[in-house]
A and B are shown apart, each in its own frame.
Chain A
């Protein structure tokens, strides 16, 4: 089934790096011995269940807790009124108008989406907490609802946050190059009335949650959770709770998937903290699947309106102008950062230099959006890929050739984009060739004819994406100049303990990416020992000394920031081990080599100290040294080199690395029903140097599956009253085993010149799957009226509409040539 074809052999950096060593995590996980937050128990803990709003927009009248509190086993409650007294509103990333939003951990005065938490109930069992929640009586006064961001921006629309004066959260015009000149120079101008990127998210298998303890003597909370960005959570929670960050200990162990959807759990964690203090007992909260779907971290829905593309006669793309409307949902929990993140990949993989994008973001009566695998870049890359294929369709260019003509070329690397981002390395045309080879491009016309004979419409599509990684948080100042964030960092410690144990702590919060394994590979090669000798502590603990402001696992960066920190700390330790051995042997550190678990004098194998001896000397047998020996306990903060972007020009390097994906697929469409089946799939990844190729391939596979689901089945669809129509896995169809097409993967390695190991962050490149499926559908339907695919989500009924009324979508596209 899975044919793994790797063109470029992985470099053998040392004994461990570059090799697909078995994962350290797996032994416990295949035996059910992982520790996920819901596995942690405390004596007398109370189970929390949220009472959630059944209205998308309503004023809260009275709340009657009597019946709930009388139920035997109920331990206590928390309401929005209490929250408003005990906490301050969460810090807002947005400048006004979005900056005026007052966001609390529970609804205060008003509800703004179905599923918003209104009251928290705690009882002695899960079942009783849920039963009691149903006894809470809340009086609602329903208000008018707006679920469409385009309508939310109209004067007459109901307003979610009166203090904002409307539903606009953020808007700005982004323009680079000379757009007017580009259009004056163009031989063709292709206009596209509207494109729509759908709302979905990655639905990690484990829902959100926590076990929270409060130490009354020290006023400290310990939060065992699966939040994937503890640095951000702490910054949000501390000020809201009026507590210093040292009062908040966030601990993660095993996490059941994250994909960005577990970044913005700070409101629920604050509720747990308040109740742990109020009820003087540990509080356990496990989110229900329906609650997750209704309330947690939807992906950004986005429209692109009035798009115009300037094209030369030979197919050279000169530039575009468009108006993006983004739907933030009811609160700005991480937004409006989506309003700048897209600009990391403003032009996608292409060389056009003249770009104009008016970005407008609106708040609606739907679940708040938050980062989702490919956050905000996926939408922009889908836009650029749709534009390419629509231009090709309208002007008669070959989708392969127009891409190759306009791709940034390998000899241009590192390539500075019109907005000052720097694509570090890559060979996009070669990747496309490899993808086409894997998909069997030469025989596609024969396959098309063979499918037609069976009554099927066959099409091929290409999706090109960039997985920009290692954020420069200075870009946040582009949406709010008052913010005091910039750069990035991550921390690791590596020490040699008393019996020679090599112990590594990370600041990251792995959710399946195998950090324990890859960190051990880097350490093993740095200090000269076997991977099995390296013990990487599981998860994150902000009380370890490996925690920094940006600690966490998000935005494709571990292979750069996390492993950069690990490499730095391991190199420091190696230096100290040589220094100590030199002190013992009365020689120079330069005379010492490390290898095989020993420090020895070069050329004298008998003069060798095992790691155990080094650890023991420093920790327990250190008399007699005239000078202080080293500590063999090394901490390193990795900090990539960034500048704050030029806020006037909206210009600067926003991310350190650009992993690249070229996906290609073949679909077959049933012309009677519109059902689309992906029958062949190829995914080529270039993420620079791969520390563990198997883990990299696993990320490629998972991202691909997410994309296939989003393209065909997964959607957060709302009705006009704000009811989510897909609130669970019954209605929200994620791919199952039977849905998966044959997959071939390939890899190139273009080392990043900017990172300690030549690696690039990766794992979020799944957008390529959405793009290539859209393209393949458009290709397949060219023989039935050549409709234009204008939506990222194409379930059978939308494809059927395209087949039945191809002229409707065609009317939204226009070509003006001179």
Chain B
């Protein structure tokens, strides 16, 4: 007996990604993160675990920080998605947060960085002047194995205070 565990169904979706509307037919089982990385080649969004624990895949879905490994691509149908590739302007001008990460040495290997930036972007959009405690809480879903977080927290707080010290 042959058991097929691959869903036979797929669905057409329309998602606004970093300002552009994307229409694609996707397998129903495809995670949003794999849709972004494999189908759209937006490889800035990373995968670091298989349990929704690490936050490397964090993107903004309708302004909310979401782990893109934890929702299906079809669930993003009709939504507006923002990834790390959508932060800097087309001419390469970094956001204040990206610049602050550079200024504060808030990254080493850079693998967690896109997820950190998206979680922190969501925080700064709802709270432009976060305290250290606010930042720690907002980044609780994002693991970093290189920095020990100190410089990341400093970088996010600095944005709310008008720039890195």
Measured in the bound complex, the distance between the Cα atoms of B1 and A416 in whole Å is 71
Measured in the bound complex, the distance between the Cα atoms of B151 and A51 in whole Å is 40
Which residue from chain B places its CB closest to the CB of A698 in the assembled complex?
B105
Q: Known contacts A511-B109, A512-B108; is A38 also within 8 Å of B47 by CB?
A: yes
- Report whether B147 and A2 are in contact in the complex, using a CB–CB cutoff of 8 Å: no
- Report whether B105 and A694 are in contact in the complex, using a CB–CB cutoff of 8 Å: yes
Residue B6 lies at the interface, judged by CB distance under 8 Å to chain A: yes
Residues of A within 8 A of B92 (CB): 31
B6, B108, B117, B146: the one contacting A131 at CB < 8 Å is B6
Which residue from chain A places its CB closest to the CB of B49 in the assembled complex?
A289
Give per-residue flags for B78-115: 1 if the beta carbon is below 8 A from chain A beta carbons, else 0: 00000111011000101000100111010111111110
A26, A134, A205, A735: the one contacting B148 at CB < 8 Å is A735
- Report whether A71 and B135 are in contact in the complex, using a CB–CB cutoff of 8 Å: no
- Report whether A31 and B56 are in contact in the complex, using a CB–CB cutoff of 8 Å: no
Residues of A within 8 A of B45 (CB): 32
Residues of B within 8 A of A257 (CB): 108-109, 111, 145-146
Residues of A within 8 A of B42 (CB): 32
| Most chain A C-beta atoms within 10 Å of own C-beta, residue among B87, B107, B132, B154 | B107
- Report whether A30 and B101 are in contact in the complex, using a CB–CB cutoff of 8 Å: yes
Q: Known contacts A254-B109, A289-B50; is A71 also within 8 Å of B148 by CB?
A: no
User: Which residues from 100 to 115 on chain A have a C-beta closer than 8 Å to any C-beta of chain B?
Assistant: none
Measured in the bound complex, the distance between the Cα atoms of B117 and A737 in whole Å is 14
Q: Known contacts A34-B110, A205-B143, A206-B111; is A70 also within 8 Å of B154 by CB?
A: no
| Most chain A C-beta atoms within 10 Å of own C-beta, residue among B41, B136, B139 | B136
Which residue from chain B places its CB closest to the CB of A703 in the assembled complex?
B148
Residues of B within 8 A of A70 (CB): 2
Give per-residue flags for A692-709: 1 if the beta carbon is below 8 A from chain B beta carbons, else 0: 001101100110111000
Give per-residue flags for A23-34: 1 if the beta carbon is below 8 A from chain B beta carbons, else 0: 101111111111
Which residue from chain B places its CB closest to the CB of A683 in the assembled complex?
B148
Pick from A579-587, A726-734, A789-797 the stretch touching chain B.
Answer: A726-734
Residues of A within 8 A of B109 (CB): 204-206, 254-257, 511-512
Measured in the bound complex, the distance between the Cα atoms of B103 and A701 in whole Å is 16
- Report whether B98 and A702 are in contact in the complex, using a CB–CB cutoff of 8 Å: no
Residue A41 lies at the interface, judged by CB distance under 8 Å to chain B: yes
Residue B144 lies at the interface, judged by CB distance under 8 Å to chain A: yes
Residue A6 lies at the interface, judged by CB distance under 8 Å to chain B: no
- Report whether A205 and B154 are in contact in the complex, using a CB–CB cutoff of 8 Å: no
User: Which residues from 182 to 222 on chain A have a C-beta closer than 8 Å to any C-beta of chain B?
Assistant: 202-207
Which residue from chain B places its CB closest to the CB of A745 in the assembled complex?
B150
Residue A288 lies at the interface, judged by CB distance under 8 Å to chain B: yes
User: Which residues from 50 to 64 on chain B have a C-beta closer than 8 Å to any C-beta of chain A?
Assistant: 50-51, 53-54, 56
- Report whether B145 and A203 are in contact in the complex, using a CB–CB cutoff of 8 Å: yes
A683 to chain B, nearest CB (A): 10
- Report whether B48 and A207 are in contact in the complex, using a CB–CB cutoff of 8 Å: yes
Q: Known contacts A32-B83, A135-B3; is A702 also within 8 Å of B145 by CB?
A: yes
Measured in the bound complex, the distance between the Cα atoms of B154 and A349 in whole Å is 34
A378 to chain B, nearest CB (A): 17
A226 to chain B, nearest CB (A): 10
Residues of A within 8 A of B6 (CB): 71-73, 127-128, 131
Report the number of A-B residue pairs with Cβ-Cβ less than 8 Å.
205
Residue A1 lies at the interface, judged by CB distance under 8 Å to chain B: yes
Which residue from chain A places its CB closest to the CB of B152 in the assembled complex?
A737
A488 to chain B, nearest CB (A): 24
Residues of A within 8 A of B105 (CB): 20, 23, 694-695, 697-698
Which residue from chain B places its CB closest to the CB of A513 in the assembled complex?
B108
- Report whether B53 and A729 are in contact in the complex, using a CB–CB cutoff of 8 Å: yes
Measured in the bound complex, the distance between the Cα atoms of B54 and A290 in whole Å is 13
Interface residue tally for chain A (C-beta within 8 Å):
70
User: Which residues from 43 to 100 on chain A have a C-beta closer than 8 Å to any C-beta of chain B?
Assistant: 67, 70-73
Residue B4 lies at the interface, judged by CB distance under 8 Å to chain A: yes
Residue A441 lies at the interface, judged by CB distance under 8 Å to chain B: no
Residues of B within 8 A of A623 (CB): none
Measured in the bound complex, the distance between the Cα atoms of B137 and A556 in whole Å is 34
Which residue from chain B places its CB closest to the CB of A131 in the assembled complex?
B5
- Report whether A288 and B50 are in contact in the complex, using a CB–CB cutoff of 8 Å: yes
- Report whether A30 and B113 are in contact in the complex, using a CB–CB cutoff of 8 Å: yes
A704 to chain B, nearest CB (A): 6
Q: Known contacts A31-B85, A206-B109; is A704 also within 8 Å of B46 by CB?
A: no
B30, B47, B94, B147: the one contacting A31 at CB < 8 Å is B94
Measured in the bound complex, the distance between the Cα atoms of B98 and A694 in whole Å is 18
A2, A203, A204, A735: the one contacting B151 at CB < 8 Å is A2
Residues of A within 8 A of B84 (CB): 30-32
User: Which residues from 1 to 24 on chain B have a C-beta closer than 8 Å to any C-beta of chain A?
Assistant: 1-6
Measured in the bound complex, the distance between the Cα atoms of B107 and A132 in whole Å is 38
Residues of A within 8 A of B148 (CB): 701-702, 704-705, 735, 740, 743
Residues of A within 8 A of B54 (CB): 205, 289, 729
Residues of A within 8 A of B37 (CB): 38-39
Q: Known contacts A26-B107, A705-B147, A740-B148; is A127 also within 8 Å of B29 by CB?
A: yes
A35, A202, A513, A740: the one contacting B145 at CB < 8 Å is A202
Which residue from chain A places its CB closest to the CB of B84 in the assembled complex?
A32
Residue A785 lies at the interface, judged by CB distance under 8 Å to chain B: no
Residue A798 lies at the interface, judged by CB distance under 8 Å to chain B: no
A414 to chain B, nearest CB (A): 31
Q: Known contacts A257-B145, A738-B137; is A289 also within 8 Å of B48 by CB?
A: yes
Residue B128 lies at the interface, judged by CB distance under 8 Å to chain A: no
- Report whether A729 and B3 are in contact in the complex, using a CB–CB cutoff of 8 Å: no
- Report whether A2 and B154 are in contact in the complex, using a CB–CB cutoff of 8 Å: yes
- Report whether B102 and A23 are in contact in the complex, using a CB–CB cutoff of 8 Å: yes
- Contacts A/B (CB < 8 Å), 22 sampled: A1-B153, A2-B150, A2-B154, A29-B107, A31-B85, A31-B87, A31-B92, A31-B94, A34-B44, A36-B46, A73-B6, A134-B5, A203-B145, A254-B109, A289-B49, A697-B105, A698-B151, A704-B148, A705-B147, A729-B53, A734-B143, A740-B149
Instruction: List the 4 closest A-B pairs by CB distance, nearest first.
Output: A32-B44, A29-B110, A256-B111, A512-B108
Beyond the given A256-B109, A256-B110, please list 13 additional residue pairs across the A-B interface where CB-CB is below 8 A.
Answer: A29-B113, A32-B114, A41-B41, A67-B2, A205-B144, A206-B109, A255-B109, A288-B50, A512-B110, A513-B108, A694-B105, A737-B142, A738-B137
